[in-house]
């Protein structure tokens, strides 16, 4: 039989991960510790604990632990175990989304441009992530419309050119109608476009237009002129942010009695390309700082494509360790910043405000549903506790019943 008092004495004074389990061996909580002995003991001491932790401790039947060589290893293991087991008392990031990227296989002789949701370390160039898949498709359609690149996924030599060549949407590299150098010039312009370097593209096109006009090749000059106008328009459409950074994430947070919302703005090449938000329910015992800390660990530890900077509204636990871990992972410096003034602070405030609006709207949706239910059922007041029954039988025998209860947390 597991004796908690005796097992606490056996805990090592080393870094690692601890796993709390109930009487049915279900995982209740996973945490990391710099010194396991000190951290696990805290749960069983009569000190001030939140309602959530007190409830969790009351359910603990036994615990186990895994010793690691250092705190960084413990942090990674903690995140992996939380993601795999989804323990009831951990702050959980329920995120199974994969964002689209625009990929260019630059190692190919005649590179293709396409959308993918897999970010691989294969030497190709990736642009994104695009939180809005429609925006990625719109950009890809623009590229296919304005640049005469191949649109076939598997490149091979052909005996005759496809339809795209005849409608002037491809230079038919499969037929040898364009040199690698000429084709690469288009790819370089597409890369500049996706990096936001539209001014450089426009300068190049202006130079080429003048050269073609001097040669009286007016039809080709007109094609480049239309491309230039289209690039200028899409450049204006993309301008959202004045932050002069290559790749940053801006994080905001808001809380009410029922939930916490975290909002992320994705800024790439000085332009905001999208946003995403996440909700953490039953959070009245959680602080914003605790939720923010757990979110950042779970969201970024296993992420492949990392921004250069992550802007957050306040400092969090293990910030230096997470920063070092992420930097080592991608072999470049990843920084966490807490803006105090200027444009970057304005963006944090904007993210916080959007998180609050998103949270308020979600709460309002719940209230609207209850108001509609009150009206349909002709109730005197909004229902705060709803009990649903389902009764089943086989030919009038073997009756089985089930009840599901939904209750407002404010209901006594």
Q: Residue 238 pLDDT more than 50?
A: no
Pairing assessment for the beta strands 27-33 and 16-21 based on DSSP bridges: antiparallel
Average pLDDT, the chain: 83
- CATH class for the domain made up of 4-85: alpha beta
Per-residue pLDDT tens digits for 241-287:
444 467 889 999 998 876 889 999 888 776 777 778 888 876 667 78
CATH 3.30.420.10 in the chain: give the residue spans: 247-363
Distance CA 224, CA 221 (A): 5
Q: What is the architecture of the domain spanning 247-363?
A: 2-Layer Sandwich (3.30)
Q: What is the crossing angle of helices 198-214 and 180-194, to 10°?
A: 140
pLDDT score recorded for residue 239? 42
Report the C-alpha gap between 227 and 145 in whole angstroms.
Answer: 9
Q: In the structure encoding, which two tokens stand for residue 121, read together?
A: 């370390």
Which residues does residue 318 pair with via DSSP β-bridges, in sequence order? Answer: none
Q: Say how far apart CA 44 and CA 53 lie, in whole Å.
A: 10
Pull the structure tokens for residue 15: 């870094």
Q: Give the model confidence (pLDDT) of 166-193 as tens digits.
A: 887 888 888 888 888 889 988 988 888 8
% of the chain exceeding 90 in pLDDT: 16
Query: How many Cα atoms occupy the beta-carbon half-sphere of 388 within 13 Å?
Result: 5
pLDDT at 410 over 60: no
Greater pLDDT, 208 or 403: 403
The arithmetic mean of pLDDT across residues 129-145, rounded, is: 75
Q: Can you give the pTM of this predicted structure?
A: 0.59
For the cut 70, the answer to whether the pLDDT of residue 131 exceeds it is: no
Residue 412 predicted with pLDDT over 60? no
**pLDDT recorded at residue 241:** 44
Span(s) in the chain for CATH 3.40.1440.10: 4-85
Stronger pLDDT, 65 or 193, i.e. the higher one: 65
Q: Measure the CA–CA gap between 150 and 146, rounded to whole angstroms.
A: 12
Q: HEC profile for the chain?
A: CCCHHHHHHHCCCCCEEEEEECCCCCEEEEEEECCHHHHHHHHHCCCCCCHHHHHHHHHCCEEEEEECCCHHHHHHHHHHHHHHHCCCCCCCCCCCCCCCEEEECCCCCCCCEEEECCCCCCCCEEECCCCCHHHHHHHHHHHHHHCCCCCCCCCCCCCCCCHHHHCCCCCCHHHCCCCHHHHHHHHHHHHHHHCCCHHHHHHHHHHHHHHHHHCCCHHHHHHHHHHHHHHHHHHHHHCCCCCCCCEEEEEEEEECCCEEEEEEEEEECCEEEEEEEEEEECCCCCCHHHHHHHHHHHHHCCCCCCCCEEECCCCCCCHHHHHHHHHHHHCCCCEEECCCCHHHHHHHHHHHHHHHHHHHHHHHHHHHHHHHHHHHHCCCCCCCEEEEEEEEEECCEEEEEEEEEEECCCCC
pLDDT number for residue 251:
94
Q: What is the tens place of the pLDDT at every residue in 362-397?
A: 777 777 787 788 888 888 887 878 899 999 999 888
Dump pLDDT digits (tens) for 337-346.
999 888 788 8
């Amino acid at each position: 039989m597991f004796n908690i008092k005796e097992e606490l004495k056996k805990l090592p004074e080393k870094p690692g991960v601890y796993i709390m389990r109930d009487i049915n061996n279900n995982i209740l909580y996973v945490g990391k510790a710099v010194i396991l002995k000190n951290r696990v003991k805290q749960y069983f001491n009569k000190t001030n604990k939140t309602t959530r932790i007190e409830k969790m401790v009351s359910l603990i039947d036994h615990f186990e632990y895994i010793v690691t060589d250092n705190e960084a290893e413990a942090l990674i293991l903690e995140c992996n175990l939380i993601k795999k087991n989804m323990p009831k008392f951990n702050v959980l990031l329920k995120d199974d989304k994969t964002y689209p990227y625009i990929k260019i296989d630059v190692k190919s002789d005649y590179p293709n441009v396409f959308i993918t949701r897999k970010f691989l370390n294969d030497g190709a160039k990736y642009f994104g992530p695009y939180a809005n898949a429609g925006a990625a498709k719109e950009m890809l359609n623009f590229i296919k419309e304005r640049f005469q690149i191949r649109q076939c996924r598997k490149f091979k030599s052909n005996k005759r050119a496809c339809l795209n060549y005849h409608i002037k949407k491809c230079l038919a590299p499969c037929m040898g109608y364009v040199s690698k150098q000429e084709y690469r010039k288009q790819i370089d312009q597409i890369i500049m476009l996706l990096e936001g370097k539209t001014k450089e593209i426009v300068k190049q096109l202006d130079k080429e237009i003048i050269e073609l006009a001097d040669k009286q090749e007016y039809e080709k000059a007109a094609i480049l002129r239309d491309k230039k106008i289209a690039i200028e328009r899409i450049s204006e459409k993309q301008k959202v942010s004045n932050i002069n950074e290559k790749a940053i994430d801006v994080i905001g947070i808001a809380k009410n009695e029922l939930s916490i919302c975290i909002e992320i703005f994705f800024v790439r090449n000085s332009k905001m390309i999208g946003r995403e938000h996440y909700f953490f329910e039953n959070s009245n015992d959680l602080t914003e700082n605790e939720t923010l800390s757990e979110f950042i660990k779970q969201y970024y530890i296993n992420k492949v494509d990392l921004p250069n900077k992550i802007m957050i509204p306040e400092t969090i636990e293990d910030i230096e360790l997470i920063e070092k871990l992420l930097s080592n992972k991608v072999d470049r410096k990843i920084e966490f910043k807490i803006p105090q003034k200027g444009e970057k602070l304005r963006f944090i405030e904007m993210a916080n405000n959007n998180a609050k609006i998103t949270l308020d709207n979600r709460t309002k949706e719940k209230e609207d549903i209850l108001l509609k239910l009150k009206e349909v059922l002709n109730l005197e007041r909004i229902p705060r506790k709803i009990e649903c029954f389902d009764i089943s039988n086989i030919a009038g025998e073997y009756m089985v019943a089930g009840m599901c209860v939904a209750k407002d947390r404010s209901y006594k």
